[in-house]
Amino acid sequence: MTQKELNIGAEDVQERLDKVLVKHNEDYSRHQMQLLIKEGKVLVNGKKVKPNYKCKLSDVVTWTLKEETKQRLEPESLPLSILYEDEAIIVIDKPRGMLVHPTERVFSGTLVNALLNYTDELATLSGKERPGIVHRLDQHTSGVMVICKTNDSYEKLKNQFKKKSVTRYYEAIVHGNLTHEKGTIKAPIGRHPKNRLKRTVIADGKEAETNFKVLANTKDYSHVQCQLITGRTHQIRVHMKYINHPIVGDPLYSRKKSPYIEHQALIARTLGFIHPLTKEYVEFTCERPEWFKKLLLLFHLKA
- The percent of the chain in helix, strand and coil, each rounded to the nearest 5, is 20, 30, 50
The Cα 67–Cα 261 span in angstroms is 39
For CA atoms 93, 97, 103, 109, the dihedral sign is negative
Length of the chain: 303
The Cα 12–Cα 27 span in angstroms is 19
Q: Where would I find the H helices in the chain?
A: 17-24, 30-38, 111-118, 151-162, 235-242, 290-298
* CA angle in degrees (0–180, nearest 5) for 174-283-144: 50
Catalytic residue, candidates 12, 18, 93, 138: 138
190 sits in which H/E element: strand 189-191
* CA angle in degrees (0–180, nearest 5) for 164-167-169: 120
The Cα 294–Cα 285 span in angstroms is 19
Question: What is the residue type of 213?
Answer: K
The distance of Cα 263 from the centroid of its chain, to the nearest Å, equals: 14
273 sits in which H/E element: strand 266-274
Question: What is the residue type of 303?
Answer: A
Is residue 138 annotated as a catalytic residue, yes or no? yes
Catalytic residue annotation: 138
